[in-house]
Amino acid sequence: RKFGIVRRAPQAAPADAGSAAAHHRELTIALVITALSWSFVNFGLLLWLPSDLQDRGFSAEIASGIIASSALVALPTIMIAAFLYSRWSSKRTLIGTVLLTLAGLAGALLPAPTLAWPPLLIAVIALLVVGTNGLIAVLLPYAAENYALRVRGRATGLIAGSSKFGGVAVQLGAFAGLIPTMGGAAIALIVPMTLSAVLIGRAGRETRGRSLRELETTA
């Protein structure tokens, strides 16, 4: 008492505790799928992009310029994502970044003659860069805010590890000569990315403005 250290009264379980506990495994699956999908987009599709653009007939200089222009458009993404995460909605911000990435993947499926128009190509690549940058900026904080202390390290470690898995898998695939086109990679990734958005929407909880102590009452 002398130093202001007093016992806190136990915090009551929140109203959605039962629902959150029932969907916890589903949320873990959703976040792992999201992390895996992100890893293949970031370490695969975007990594192969320069060679794919050259295969489409762009010179190395033009291909580099298109990627640089897209990255410049996406530069403030992380700050915007952080602002929306803290001021608007953590769950909706995460879903929004997944949907942006999905929009970029859908754009990559456009016919090659249509996608050859530089402004459209820059817009598609910018969507991918914006979506992936924003996604990784909010994915791990959101994961940490959904697990009680006794499992938080393992859960966030699993999701963080999943976000690196694509880098290893892509390198092994490259050694084996398995390098798909941008469209081929988009086809493979659009289904799991869509599934992750649906599962987060179903099983995720809003964490903005809520105390982490709530998680301990439902552990």
Full domain range(s) for residue 157: 23-203
CATH number, domain at 158? 1.20.1250.20
Position 24 scores a pLDDT of 77
Evaluate whether residue 212 is within a structural domain: no
Evaluate whether residue 50 is within a structural domain: yes
Give the 3-state secondary structure of residue 147: coil
Task: Transcribe 75-128 into DSSP letters.
Answer: TTHHHHHHHHHHHT-HHHHHHHHHHHHHHHHHHHTS-HHHHTSHHHHHHHHHHH
Position 190 scores a pLDDT of 93
Evaluate whether residue 10 is within a structural domain: no
Give the tens place of pLDDT for each residue, 142-169.
Answer: 998 888 778 888 889 999 999 999 888 8
Evaluate whether residue 141 is within a structural domain: yes
Evaluate whether residue 148 is within a structural domain: yes
Position 10 scores a pLDDT of 56
Evaluate whether residue 177 is within a structural domain: yes
Position 12 scores a pLDDT of 55
Evaluate whether residue 208 is within a structural domain: no
Q: Is 53 exposed, middle or buried (0-12, 13-18, 19+ CB in 10 A)?
A: buried
Residues of the chain with pLDDT under 70: 1-2, 4, 6-23, 59-60, 70, 73-74, 177, 179-180, 211-219
Rounded to whole angstroms, the Cα distance separating 63 from 53 reads 6
Position 152 scores a pLDDT of 84
Give the tens place of pLDDT for each residue, 119-130.
Answer: 888 888 888 888
Q: Give the number of domains in the chain.
A: 1
Nearest CA among 198, 151, 37, 96 for reference residue 143 = 151
**177 CB-side CA count, 13 A:** 0
